[in-house]
């Protein structure tokens, strides 16, 4: 039977919300990327932006789910300073080569999502079966379920297309 894992990092809950919706839609297991850096408040924000810009790979907790057991791993990240969030970079660095097939999604304020989705594919060394970018206002208004349905349909249909939540929500 096909097994799917959805894994993400989320600082303020939006990417996590989307991860939960995707997992529900495709009956997937869920895992969270956890680090131990303080990321709240202005100092935490700056630390996060700087780490992302400098492509740092902070310590992360060992993954609870062995991704080699899954036929597809769907990885989600918030966009930080036009870059992959640093804990997700750590996850890809540590486990990326164990993922057989991948799909990626991100949430953002509105800038840098295409670059981040391209970076994720480059870092993993794999072409994503599907990608999804969702602006945070779409997530906050709960208007992302149609985009998630389309995203899931793409990798269930094995095609490598991408889908933009911004366009779908308009």
Ligand X SMILES: Cc1cc2nc3c(=O)[nH]c(=O)nc-3n(C[C@H](O)[C@H](O)[C@H](O)COP(=O)(O)O)c2cc1C
Q: Which of 5, 31, 78, 155 binds ligand X (CB under 6 A)?
A: 78
User: Among residues 43 and 111, whose Cβ is nearest to ligand X?
Assistant: 111
State the minimum distance, in angstroms, from the CB of residue 20 to ligand X: 11
Nearest CA-CA partner of 134 in 121, 122, 151, 119: 151
Query: Does 111 engage in binding with ligand X (CB under 6 A)?
Result: yes
| CA distance linking residue 15 with residue 105, whole number of Å | 8
List 8's β-bridge partners, or say none: 32, 76
Q: Is 13 in the site for ligand X (CB under 6 A)?
A: yes
DSSP state of 61: P
Query: According to the binding rule CB under 6 A, does residue 96 interact with ligand X?
Result: no
- Nearer to ligand X among residue 11 and residue 65 (C-beta): 11
Nearer to ligand X, 87 or 96 (CB): 87
11 binds ligand X (CB under 6 A): yes
Q: Of the ranges 14-22, 94-102, 143-151, 152-160, which one interacts with ligand X (CB under 6 A)?
A: 14-22
Residue closer to ligand X (CB basis): 81 or 169: 81
Please give the angle made by the CA atoms of 119, 32 and 154, to the nearest 5 degrees.
Answer: 55
Please compute, for residue 140, the number of CA atoms within 13 A of its CA located in the half-sphere on the CB side: 6
> Under a CB-based contact definition with an 8 Å cutoff, are residues 17 and 143 in contact?
no
């Amino acid at each position: 039977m096909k097994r799917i894992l959805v894994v993400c990092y989320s600082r303020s809950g939006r990417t996590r919300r989307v991860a939960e919706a995707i997992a529900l839609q495709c009956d997937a297991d869920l895992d969270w990327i956890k680090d131990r850096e303080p990321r709240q408040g202005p100092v935490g924000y700056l630390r996060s932006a700087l780490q992302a810009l400098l492509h740092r790979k902070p310590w992360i907790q060992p993954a609870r789910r062995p991704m080699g057991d899954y036929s597809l791993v769907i990885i989600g990240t918030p966009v930080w300073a036009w870059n992959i969030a640093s804990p997700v970079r750590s996850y890809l660095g540590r486990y990326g080569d164990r993922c057989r097939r991948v799909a990626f999604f991100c949430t953002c304020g509105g800038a840098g999502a295409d670059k981040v989705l391209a970076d994720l594919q480059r870092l993993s060394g794999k072409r994503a079966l599907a990608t999804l970018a969702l602006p945070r206002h779409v997530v906050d208004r709960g208007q992302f379920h149609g985009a998630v349905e389309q995203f899931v349909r793409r990798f269930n249909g094995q095609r490598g297309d991408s889908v933009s939540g911004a366009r779908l929500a308009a």
